[in-house]
Amino acid sequence: MDQYISKLSPAVDYGAGTFLLVVAFLSILGNAAVLVAAAWRHSVLKAPELLTVNLAVTDIGMALSMYPLSIASAFNHIWIGGDLSCLYYGLMGMIFSVASIMTLAAMGLVRYLVTGNPPKSGSKFRRKTISILIGVIWLYSLLWAVFPLLGWGGYGPEPYGLACSVDWAGYQHSLNGSSFIMSLAILCTLIPCGVILFSYTGIAWKLHKAYRSIQSNDNLPNSGAVERKVTMMGILISAGFIVSWTPYVFISLWTMFHSEGKDSVAPIVSLLPCLFAKCSTVYNPFVYYIFRKSFRRELRQIRICCYQGCWDAVSKMTGGERSEENSRAQKTAEE
């Protein structure tokens, strides 16, 4: 049980808990707004946009299923729930993190295939096709999350004691642990990142070629500007995810080879990359808000609709109360 006692000072624990509380609030609020806006316009939602919805689901899922346990543990200066909750936390973390990076890779690849082609060519990505792709992503993520439960690899506490993840230290201790971690690194990190890099590099090259070939056409630059904006949005979302998780990956790799002795990672050093990685669930809605005028418009419409709905409900309630008072007064007068 000592492995689940915080290796940090109470002040640092309270600070980490407060930080995660803010991150959880912003993540749930922002991604809920994305999902509500998508539901608002579901009838006109384009097939590739379902991947954006799926990314919001992974982010809000991580915030709802994991952050409350981390926050409660930080404020209690000990990991709550022991081995069982550690397995649960590691399982949820694996599912949502793998689903996130695979969704980003799929978004980049779909955008690459669509960019620079006539509008009608995008019809090959039907809702059914994207829905099947999303289903495959979740099955793939679930498969990797279940492997440690079946005996390949494992989950364990982070060095600072207030979170659980892949047992990175197991790399040195057994072939089982090392083979799982290497496979995870290649199939769930390096290859998806390579797809993202290839996709957006290819998109940039396509846009560059298209811009040079249509400079004399007055009609196409507007569509090119839209594609550039959508591409920039995708690049920022993907880059934000990779930047957020890179410090954590670096610390995890260090832990794989230096889990004991003087070269082992200090608890406070292992905490900071974990907190930074959790910020990856926050910024996507802000990117959408900045780059997508339609998203801002939808949020305004939803806000106005909610305000009017609440006002109508209050009016009906007050109107009903007044009618009851009038009827009572009329009965009293008749008596």
Cα–Cα distance, 232 to 292 (Å, whole number): 11
Q: Specify the DSSP class assigned to residue 187.
A: I
Q: Residue 75's pLDDT is what? A: 95
Cα–Cα distance, 144 to 96 (Å, whole number): 11
In the chain, which residue ranges form alpha helices assigned H by DSSP?
10-40, 49-65, 67-76, 82-114, 127-146, 170-173, 175-185, 191-213, 220-257, 267-278, 284-291, 293-334
Name the fold adopted by 2-312.
Rhopdopsin 7-helix transmembrane proteins (1.20.1070)
Cα–Cα distance, 156 to 167 (Å, whole number): 5
Q: Residue 335's pLDDT is what? A: 47
The pTM assigned to this predicted structure is: 0.84
Token pair 């991947």 in the structure block, residue: 51
Q: Specify the DSSP class assigned to residue 157.
A: E
Q: Are 196 and 111 in contact, with CB atoms under 8 Å apart?
A: no
Cα–Cα distance, 175 to 192 (Å, whole number): 25
* CA distance readout (Å), 214 to 53, 64, 114, 211, 289: 33, 47, 18, 5, 30
Residue 159, amino acid: P
Q: Residue 320's pLDDT is what? A: 45
Strand partners, 155: 166
Of the candidates 155, 143, 30, 19, the residue with the CA atom closest to the CA atom of residue 83: 155
Q: Residue 119's pLDDT is what? A: 52
DSSP 3-state of 333: helix
Of the candidates 168, 170, 234, 243, the residue with the CA atom closest to the CA atom of residue 204: 234
**Residues of the chain with confidence (pLDDT) below 50:** 120-122, 220, 313-314, 317-318, 320-322, 324-325, 329, 331-335
Residue 144, amino acid: W
Which residue ranges make up each domain of the chain?
A: 2-312
Q: Specify the DSSP class assigned to residue 265.
A: P
